[in-house]
Amino acid sequence: MKLLHIDSSILAGFSTSRILTKAIAAQWADQHPGTEVEYLDLAARQPAHFDQAAMSYRANKAEADLTDAERASKAETDALLQQFLRADVVVVGAPMYNFTIPTQLKAWIDRIAQPGHTFRYSAAGPEGLAKGKVVIVASTRGGAYSTSDMGQAMEHQESYLKTVFGFLGVTDVRIVRAEGLGMGDAARTAALSAAANDTQAAVAKVA
């Protein structure tokens, strides 16, 4: 079984989501002997923004007709896409920055969301092609959003990730959440303890 461990926090050694993804990946490997872990640090190695050169991926141009920028971009897309497709389990560190995910994580999603590879349009509508994977999201945030309707309406982090992974065919998205991290010491301690419980549940759940 292959596990892809992804971090996107820009806070390096101060990051909370990095602590959570590390624990999730370690516990998963413990409980599933033979797990091969690949690691992707999107803050250390950020994919380029999905731009005009990146769009050439969709045009199926002959290799010889690509510009240098398009060729480099295609190689980046191919590498990230294949890495995602070969994973059975994807652990994603996803802090909330400005109500949504870090730009580095969005740049990765833009690379892996490719028609013909991870989704396609059919007569019956869009169909996700990355089926059978488990995605575990380590969600961290300064405020608390899960406990009120208003909070849920304002957060575009977990809800966005569930939507986009669902669109790609991943129906099993598990959330490990530490929220209220900026609301004082007691709230932070409670958040970390809730995330530890979520981790156990996410790792133990049978697909």
Note the residues at the interface with ligand FD5 (CB under 6 A). Answer: 9, 11, 14-18, 95-99, 140-143, 181-182
Minimum distance of ligand FD5 from residue 44's CB (angstroms): 14
Minimum distance of ligand FD5 from residue 79's CB (angstroms): 24
Minimum distance of ligand FD5 from residue 186's CB (angstroms): 13
Q: Got the DSSP string for the chain?
A: -EEEEEE--S-GGG-SHHHHHHHHHHHHHHHSTT-EEEEEETTTSPPPP--HHHHGGGGT--GGG--HHHHHHHHHHHHHHHHHHH-SEEEEEEE-BTTB--HHHHHHHHHH--BTTTEEEETTEEEE--TT-EEEEEEEESS--TTSHHHHHH-BSHHHHHHHHHHTT--EEEEEEEE-TTS-HHHHHHHHHHHHHHHHHHHH---
Looking at beta carbons only, is 132 or 184 nearer to ligand FD5?
184
Minimum distance of ligand FD5 from residue 40's CB (angstroms): 15
Looking at beta carbons only, is 56 or 104 nearer to ligand FD5?
104
Looking at beta carbons only, is 143 or 166 nearer to ligand FD5?
143
Looking at beta carbons only, is 16 or 118 nearer to ligand FD5?
16
Looking at beta carbons only, is 128 or 142 nearer to ligand FD5?
142
Contact 170, 133 (CB under 8 A): yes
Residue with tokens 């490719």: 114
Minimum distance of ligand FD5 from residue 106's CB (angstroms): 14
